[in-house]
């Protein structure tokens, strides 16, 4: 993800990958800034922080309770999540919040069953011909992933996403219309790739997330890790060979380039 990469670069360059860096970025309300120099703070950066903690096993750097409380304040009357408290429900923000809660292992405990059902219902209602990112907006291919992945996380157990289900993750959805939207309407017959809308030019972001939806729907035979938006096979390989950079809250030096991968 663009924001994840941007955030990781910021952390690496400005904080020299200090393990207290993530801790310093957390604000009193539970949100995270992208840098120490004062920037936006919203659910996108909570997703980035959780992804970093998930990948590098840095959970001791995060006040999880405070993070969860901030996320819950981003819930809206529609049932989904906005970027910040008081913002409109939006598909990307909802994905960031649901994925962050999944990585923190709080998706099934932070909200009541009714709240989770309302959230799932909001996601399911976004399926039109393709998926819309907000109520009454035009469908957009990237939201097939943001919303579809949120549905997958809400309906399957991803508490241990190393061995998450790898077949069709979208069994609650129609799929036929989204598949046709991606393959027949937004795929560019001349240049290849996928566009955001029908009759527009393809771009890398929408091509990537179109392929992610096809992977979630079981069309590509290449399972997707929906929490990180990467190949499940690559994540599993990494997870089983990684060496934690920290142990017992203290920095442990990586001894080789292999350790840093
Ligand atoms: Zn889009």
Query: Which string of DSSP letters, residue by residue, matches 37-54?
Result: T---BSHHHHHHHHHHHH
Q: How far, in Å, from the CA of 96 to the mean position of ligand 1?
A: 15
What CATH number does residue 75 fall under? 1.50.10.20
Query: Which candidate, 58, 68, 232, 53, places its Cα nearest to that of 149?
Result: 232
Q: How far, in Å, from the CA of 126 to the mean position of ligand 1?
A: 14
If asked whether residues 135 and 257 sit together in one domain, one would say yes
Per-residue pLDDT of the chain (261 residues; tens, 9 = 90+): 545 545 554 554 445 454 567 888 999 999 999 888 878 899 999 999 999 999 888 899 899 999 999 999 999 999 999 999 999 999 999 999 999 999 999 999 999 999 999 999 999 999 998 999 999 999 999 999 999 999 999 987 665 555 555 566 787 888 899 999 999 999 999 999 999 999 999 999 999 999 999 999 989 888 899 999 999 888 888 888 876 554 444 444 433 333 433
Q: How far, in Å, from the CA of 123 to the mean position of ligand 1?
A: 16
If asked whether residues 62 and 101 sit together in one domain, one would say yes
DSSP 8-state secondary structure symbol assigned to residue 87: P
Instruction: Give me the pLDDT at residue 1, please.
Output: 55
If asked whether residues 93 and 10 sit together in one domain, one would say yes
Q: How far, in Å, from the CA of 3 to the mean position of ligand 1?
A: 14
If asked whether residues 113 and 209 sit together in one domain, one would say no
CA separation for the pair 221, 80 (Å, rounded): 30
Q: How far, in Å, from the CA of 66 to the mean position of ligand 1?
A: 30
If asked whether residues 167 and 256 sit together in one domain, one would say yes
Instruction: Give me the pLDDT at residue 62, please.
Output: 93
If asked whether residues 155 and 101 sit together in one domain, one would say no
Could you tell me the two tokens for 231?
A: 């190949």
Instruction: Give me the pLDDT at residue 252, please.
Output: 42
If asked whether residues 131 and 257 sit together in one domain, one would say yes
Q: How far, in Å, from the CA of 141 to the mean position of ligand 1?
A: 6
Instruction: Give me the pLDDT at residue 258, please.
Output: 38
Where is the domain boundary, 86, 108, 125? 125
If asked whether residues 133 and 121 sit together in one domain, one would say no
Q: How far, in Å, from the CA of 139 to the mean position of ligand 1?
A: 9
What length does the chain have? 261
Query: Which residues, chain by chain, have CB under 5 Å from ion ligand 1?
Result: 140, 142, 196
Q: How far, in Å, from the CA of 203 to the mean position of ligand 1?
A: 10
Q: In which domain, by residue range, is 4 found?
A: 1-125
Helix (H, G, I), strand (E, B) or coil at 128: strand
The pTM is what? 0.85
Report the number of distinct structural domains present in the chain. 2
If asked whether residues 134 and 210 sit together in one domain, one would say yes
Instruction: Give me the pLDDT at residue 249, please.
Output: 42
If asked whether residues 10 and 63 sit together in one domain, one would say yes
If asked whether residues 84 and 60 sit together in one domain, one would say yes
Where is the domain boundary, 108, 125, 142? 125
Report whether 47 contacts 96 (CB < 8 A). yes
Q: How far, in Å, from the CA of 196 to the mean position of ligand 1?
A: 5
If asked whether residues 44 and 161 sit together in one domain, one would say no
CA separation for the pair 40, 45 (Å, rounded): 9
Q: How far, in Å, from the CA of 142 to the mean position of ligand 1?
A: 4
Sign of CA dihedral 119, 122, 128, 130: negative
Q: How far, in Å, from the CA of 209 to the mean position of ligand 1?
A: 9
């Amino acid at each position: 993800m663009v924001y994840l990469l941007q955030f990781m670069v910021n952390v690496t360059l400005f904080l020299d990958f200090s393990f207290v860096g993530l801790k310093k970025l957390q604000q009193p309300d539970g949100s995270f800034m992208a840098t120490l120099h004062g920037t936006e703070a919203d659910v996108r950066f909570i997703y980035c922080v959780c992804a970093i903690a998930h990948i590098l096993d840095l959970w001791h750097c995060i006040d999880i309770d405070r993070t969860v409380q901030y996320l819950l304040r981003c819930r809206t009357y529609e049932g989904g999540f906005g970027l910040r408290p008081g913002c409109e429900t939006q598909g990307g923000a909802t994905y960031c919040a649901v994925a962050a809660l999944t990585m923190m292992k709080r998706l099934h405990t932070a909200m009541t069953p009714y709240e989770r059902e309302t959230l799932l219902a909001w996601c399911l209602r976004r399926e039109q011909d393709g998926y819309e990112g907000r109520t009454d907006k035009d469908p957009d291919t990237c939201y097939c992933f943001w919303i579809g992945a949120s549905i997958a996380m809400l309906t399957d157990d991803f508490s241990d996403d190393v061995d998450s289900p790898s077949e069709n993750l979208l069994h609650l959805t129609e799929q036929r219309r989204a598949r046709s939207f991606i393959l027949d309407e937004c795929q560019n017959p001349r240049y290849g790739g996928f566009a955001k809308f029908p009759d527009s030019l393809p771009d890398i972001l929408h091509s990537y997330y179109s392929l992610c939806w096809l992977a979630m729907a079981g069309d590509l035979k290449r399972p997707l890790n929906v929490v990180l938006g990467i190949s499940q096979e690559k994540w599993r390989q990494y997870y089983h060979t990684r060496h934690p950079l920290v142990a017992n809250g203290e920095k442990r030096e990586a001894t080789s380039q292999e350790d840093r991968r």
